[in-house]
Amino acid sequence: MRLSSRAINVQASPIRRLTPLLLDAKKRGIVVHHLNIGQPDIETPKPFWDAVKNYDEKVLAYGLSDGFPELKDAVAQYFGRFGVSLNQSEIQVTTAGSEAVLYSLCLVSDPSDEVLVFEPFYTNYNGFGTIAGIKVVPVTTKAEDGFAIPSFEEIEKKITSKTRAIIICSPNNPTGHILTPEELERIVAVAKKFDLFIISDEVYREFTYEGAKATSIFEIKGADERCIVCDSISKRFSACGARVGFLICKNKKVMESALKFAQARLCPPTLEQIGAIAAYRMDPSYFDPIRVEYQKRRDVLLEVLNSNREIVVKKPQGAFYIMAKLPVEDSDDFASFLLKDFNDKGETTMVAPGDGFYATEGAGKDEVRLAYVLNVEKTKRAGEILLKGLEEYRKK
Ligand SMILES: Cc1ncc(COP(=O)(O)O)c(C=O)c1O
């Protein structure tokens, strides 16, 4: 018997591939601070839990393949707050943002087609690309340019007859960059010239700092029919385990096919949709203190990292990650060292090696991605341990 080439080639997530070392460290009694994964410690809102607890059916039945109409209405109302008008037929509830991204890729491309993505990018686009049988073609962005996207001409150079779509993510995981309306217009212009789809991952929409605002691709004129927005409650309502997300598109043909994909996997989670309806109905002021909290965490982590002059970081404007360039040759080896060979008073820090956030061979090898999802005190401590570990590592 032989496995498929996609089974053999699919990447292990750099966020999770060090898990065996993590489990081993825990077995040795080491306390591990997780800066490797975007799992927020913010409590899932009470209305979500109340709605789930009050669910009063005797059978936990299948729901509709494209989700509960009440949830779609709640999502449409939420988009209405920033001037985007949507109706139920333009929204499909998915099993979280991950399924929305995978479906989007499969909806717009055939095996061996290509999609452009600005790197560094959310690492699982690599995995989804392999599962879909397509090639993820990187367009590199750099910390020194604030991770802004390159010119029209630079983007255009990467387009071939096989290119089907451009993936964007704003606020960005892992860079924290927020695409400006001008950048979004440039992407739309490229997409129009080459008749491409735009897959816009907007799962971090609310996480913006110092007054910055994330613009949805739907807010850009003339983009409608070629845009698929992938969204999720995982980060928005700190409900990562709920597995509720959305594929949103104003193109009827896309939505008709998306529904057939959805029918094949029956339905998204029932109880969690009930919770999500209540969460979406909350007042938008819910996000204000959360934004303040994340900004504090970002600032404390930046302060610790900036205390080492050899570390290069760019202040992120949004999401809750920092891509940090370290004075190491192989951040995977360093991340393993932190788990295997280092502790400070019985504590260590777990980070995600940077190379998995790139598609360019060899890129990101001296970078790590850090998630500031722990409270201020823990984030500070985790950052300090990272610096101590770095000092020890370089003595090796
Ligand atoms: C940019 C981005 N998109 C999509 C996802 C997937 O989120 P979920 O499947 O939990 O909705 C994540 C998760 O970390 C992410 O960072």
Residues 259-297: pLDDT tens digits? Answer: 999 999 999 999 999 999 999 999 999 999 999 999 999
pLDDT class of 339 with cuts at 50, 70, 90:
very high
Ligand 1, closest atom to CA 240?
A: 10
**In the predicted structure, residue 396 carries a pLDDT above the cut 90:** no
Query: In whole numbers, what is the pLDDT of the chain averaged over residues?
Result: 96
* Closest residue CA from atom 8 of ligand 1: 97
- For the residues 193-201, what does the mean pLDDT come to? 98
- For the residues 156-180, what does the mean pLDDT come to? 97
**In the predicted structure, residue 16 carries a pLDDT above the cut 90:** no
CATH fold of 5-43+286-395 reads Aspartate Aminotransferase, domain 1 (3.90.1150)
Whether the Cβ atoms of residue 294 and residue 321 lie closer than 8 Å to each other: no
Asked whether the domain spanning 46-284 has the same topology as the one spanning 5-43+286-395, the reply is: no
Ligand 1: list residues with CB < 6 Å: 38, 96-98, 101, 122, 169, 173, 201, 203, 232, 234, 240, 245
**Domain boundaries in the chain?**
5-43+286-395, 46-284
Cα of 203 from ligand 1 centre, angstroms: 7
- For the residues 153-178, what does the mean pLDDT come to? 97
**In the predicted structure, residue 15 carries a pLDDT above the cut 90:** no
Cα of 170 from ligand 1 centre, angstroms: 12
Cα of 103 from ligand 1 centre, angstroms: 14
In angstroms, the CA 219 to CA 228 distance is 13
Which two structure tokens, joined as six digits, stand for 57? 């059916």
Cα of 146 from ligand 1 centre, angstroms: 22
**Confidence at residue 286, expressed as pLDDT on a 0 to 100 scale:** 97
Within 10 angstroms of residue 258's Cβ, the number of other Cβ atoms is 24
Q: Which residues neighbour 2 within 8 Å (Cβ) at sequence distance 6 or greater?
A: none
How many residues appear in the chain?
Answer: 396
* Closest residue CA from atom 11 of ligand 1: 97
Let me know if domain 46-284 sits in CATH 3.40.640.10: yes
- Closest by CA to 315, choosing from 302, 325, 327, is 302
Please report, for residues 30, 41, 307, the alpha-carbon distance to residue 347 in angstroms, rounded to integers and kept in the order given.
Answer: 5, 19, 20
* Closest residue CA from atom 14 of ligand 1: 38
pLDDT class of 103 with cuts at 50, 70, 90:
very high
- For the residues 357-377, what does the mean pLDDT come to? 94
- pTM given for the model: 0.94
In the chain, what is the greatest distance between 2 CA atoms, to the nearest angstrom?
Answer: 62
**Confidence at residue 38, expressed as pLDDT on a 0 to 100 scale:** 83
Cα of 314 from ligand 1 centre, angstroms: 22
Task: Report how far apart the first and last C-alpha atoms of the chain are (Å, whole number).
Answer: 44
Burial class (CB in 10 A: 0-12, 13-18, 19+), 96: buried
Angle at 187 between CA 186 and CA 192, to 5 degrees: 100
Angle at 292 between CA 238 and CA 279, to 5 degrees: 30
- For the residues 305-323, what does the mean pLDDT come to? 95
In angstroms, the CA 108 to CA 228 distance is 10
**In the predicted structure, residue 14 carries a pLDDT above the cut 80:** no
**In the predicted structure, residue 112 carries a pLDDT above the cut 90:** yes
